[in-house]
Amino acid sequence: MAYSRPVLASLIYSLLCLGLLMVYSASMTARPSSADEIYLSKQALYLAFGLTVGGGASLLPATFWRRAAPWIFGGVLALLIAVLVPGIGTRINGSRRWIRLGSAALQPSEFAKISVPLMVAWGMERGWSWRQEFLRGTGVLLAPVGVATILVVIEPDLGAAVFLLIGTLLSLFFRGWPLGRLIAAGTLLLPIVTIWLVLKPYQLRRIEGFFATWTDFEQAPYQVQQSLTTLGIGGWYGTGLGEGQQKLSFLPEANTDFVFSVVGEELGLLGTLGVASLWLGVLWVGLRVVRTLPSDTFEHTVAMTLICQLVTQAAINVGVTTAMLPPKGIAHPLISYGGSSLSATLLSLGIVFSLTRPGAVLSPSGPPVNSPDSLRSLSTGTRRRVTDVD
């Protein structure tokens, strides 16, 4: 398995290089000028910052994340509250999601995707979800996640809120949470989604437009029409890097949410399949790296969740651009333009490298969920060492 970590790093760097090229190409205007290079310059600065943060995170011991998890979550929660305060948070297109920092902007919800899995895994280490009493166990475990999700919904940012819930369910699943409780938690989300659609009619219209795409293309949302048109123009081999025309005045959010469509137009079907192959490689190699860790540990839970969450986001972005999923603003990790998204993605990958470093798992682990002695060990205070795990 020693080669897996360098291979994973190579796949990540390949996506980053492609992202720089596509951000520059997708940011071109109908009248090219030096202003087009501003996006490239900013993305390069974001990349340098993100690599510094991610690289620094990868050098930290795994025990740091275990101890710092509640403090990281508390800090992100404070930012989620601050972004809703007038004068601190910045409102753009009807949403208050950003904190302006000079010429840059911080989007706390991107970092909440990291802090939530850390917090859930930290809570499960302490046996919160194994207690017989649901409210005193599972309720205490999920209450912080609920608060963070509500704050994100208020912004509003439904896409980020959905990812917080996905991250939570993934963390519970990888830690061995009982399947019955997972199904119950998923069922409880249905009325919440229904209420959201009732209160936000434009979300319902998006879903209706999504179904219209497959019955009457003319009734489909504008961005979906243009995205499919852009992908279709590319054919097998594409029009050539920088030669796409849809990005000039037709395709909305060409360098952010719909950058994958630009890949399809300029690099063709082979280009989009290449991107998909890179992500499948990240998933396959990433899972091989994480599987070296004992399955009932904080490190395994967080690393598995962050890898799967990242690949899921890429898959959802592809699904939106190809009209396989309802339209929603979801950035393509490592490729889309944006400082917060890129920095948060590289930070999460840095955490994965930190948690999976050989010899990183040295501290005690919580009792496994499926062990018959788990409740007894909680009551007596006994703990097992990771070295005792088969």
The per-residue pLDDT for 253 is 85
Give a yes or no: residue 239 inside a domain: yes
Question: 296 pLDDT exceeds 90?
Answer: no
Contact (CB, 8 A) for 8 and 282: yes
% pLDDT > 90, the chain = 38
Give a yes or no: residue 390 inside a domain: no
- Which is more confidently placed, 30 or 214? 214
Question: 385 pLDDT exceeds 50?
Answer: no
Q: Tens of pLDDT along 335-376?
A: 999 888 999 999 999 999 999 987 665 544 444 444 333 433
Give a yes or no: residue 16 inside a domain: yes
Range of the domain at 338: 4-375
pTM, to two decimals: 0.84
C-alpha closest to that of 336 among 8, 48, 18: 18
Rg (CA), the chain: 22
Q: Tens of pLDDT along 101-158?
A: 777 788 899 999 999 999 999 988 876 554 445 555 666 777 888 888 888 888 878 7
Give a yes or no: residue 344 inside a domain: yes
The per-residue pLDDT for 24 is 87
Mean pLDDT confidence for 167-173: 88
Residue 16 backbone dihedrals phi, psi, to 5 degrees: -65, -45
CA-based torsion, 122, 125, 130, 133: positive or negative: negative
pLDDT range class, residue 330, cuts 50, 70, 90: confident
The per-residue pLDDT for 373 is 36
Give a yes or no: residue 389 inside a domain: no
The per-residue pLDDT for 214 is 72
Q: How far apart are CA 359 and CA 363, in angstroms?
A: 10
CA angle, 251 then 96 then 36, to 5°: 35
H helical segments located in 28-139: 37-59, 62-82, 108-125
The per-residue pLDDT for 246 is 85
Q: How far apart are CA 210 and CA 149, in angstroms?
A: 25
Q: Tens of pLDDT along 240-291?
A: 888 888 888 788 888 888 999 999 999 999 999 999 999 999 999 999 999 8
Contact (CB, 8 A) for 114 and 355: no
Q: How far apart are CA 311 and CA 280, in angstroms?
A: 8
Q: How far apart are CA 339 and CA 333, in angstroms?
A: 11
Ordered strands of the 95-101 beta sheet: 89-92, 95-101, 104-106
The per-residue pLDDT for 12 is 96
Give a yes or no: residue 387 inside a domain: no
The per-residue pLDDT for 136 is 58
Question: 19 pLDDT exceeds 80?
Answer: yes
Question: 380 pLDDT exceeds 60?
Answer: no
The per-residue pLDDT for 299 is 92
Give a yes or no: residue 386 inside a domain: no
Residues 7/336/313/229 CA torsion (nearest 10 deg): -120
Mean pLDDT confidence for 166-191: 77
The whole-chain average pLDDT of the chain stands at 80
Give a yes or no: residue 194 inside a domain: yes
Least reliable range by pLDDT among 27-31, 157-161, 292-296, 319-323: 27-31
- Which is more confidently placed, 38 or 274? 274
Q: What is the total count of domains within the chain? A: 1
Least reliable range by pLDDT among 195-209, 276-290, 316-330: 195-209
C-alpha closest to that of 159 among 75, 253, 82: 253
What own/partner pairs with CB < 8 Å and gap ≥ 24 does 20-25 have?
A: 20/44, 20/47, 21/241, 22/255, 22/259, 22/262, 22/263, 22/266, 22/335, 23/255, 23/259, 23/335, 23/336, 23/337, 25/241, 25/242, 25/244, 25/247, 25/262, 25/266
Residue with token string 């919904």 = 153
Residues 6+ positions from 8 with CB-CB distance below 8 Å? 282, 285, 286, 289
- Which is more confidently placed, 378 or 363? 363
Mean pLDDT confidence for 87-98: 79
